[in-house]
């Protein structure tokens, strides 16, 4: 049996980025304030995120 790995699954639109509708170009992608720091903290806690 494989070793379990703690993980968190995050939705994109409205969860980690501002929901402006479908993102056709990277220039239209905008992270919600604080998300990058929160994801760093999750990584420090040993969680993988997808």
Catalytically annotated residues: 11, 13
Residue 20 makes CB contacts below 8 A (sequence gap 6+) with 28, 30
The Cα 25–Cα 49 span in angstroms is 23
CB 49 within 8 A of CB 8: yes
């Amino acid at each position: 049996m494989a070793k379990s790995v703690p993980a968190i699954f995050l939705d994109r639109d409205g969860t980690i980025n501002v929901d402006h509708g479908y993102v056709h170009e990277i220039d239209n992608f905008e992270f919600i304030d604080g998300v990058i720091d929160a994801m760093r903290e999750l990584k420090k806690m040993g969680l993988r995120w997808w």
